[in-house]
Amino acid sequence: MALLLEGDASERMIARYLQKSQVYVYEESGAVVGVCVLQHKTDETCEVMNIAVLAEHRNQGIAKKLLLHAIDSARNRGCRSIEIATGNSGIGQLYLYQKIGFEMVSLELDYFVKNYEDPIIEEGIPCKHQVRLRMKL
Q: Which residues bind ligand COA (CB under 6 A)?
A: 6-7, 51-53, 58-64, 86, 90, 92-93, 95-96, 99
Q: Give, in degrees to the nearest 5, the angle at Cα 87 between 41 and 72.
A: 40
Tell me how far, at minimum, the Cβ of 7 lies from ligand COA, in Å. 4
DSSP string, 87-132: ETT-HHHHHHHHHHT-EEEEEETTHHHHH-SS--EETTEE---EEE
Tell me how far, at minimum, the Cβ of 78 lies from ligand COA, in Å. 25
**Rounded CA gap, 57 and 66, in Å?**
13
Q: Of 43 and 117, which CB lies nearer to ligand COA in the complex structure?
A: 117
Closest-CB residue for ligand COA? 92
Tell me how far, at minimum, the Cβ of 82 lies from ligand COA, in Å. 14
Instruction: Count other C-beta atoms under 10 Å from residue 28's C-beta.
Output: 12
Q: Of 53 and 79, which CB lies nearer to ligand COA in the complex structure?
A: 53
Q: Of 58 and 75, which CB lies nearer to ligand COA in the complex structure?
A: 58
CA distances from 62 to 45, 59, 107 (A): 24, 7, 27
Tell me how far, at minimum, the Cβ of 53 lies from ligand COA, in Å. 4
Q: Of 41 and 78, which CB lies nearer to ligand COA in the complex structure?
A: 41
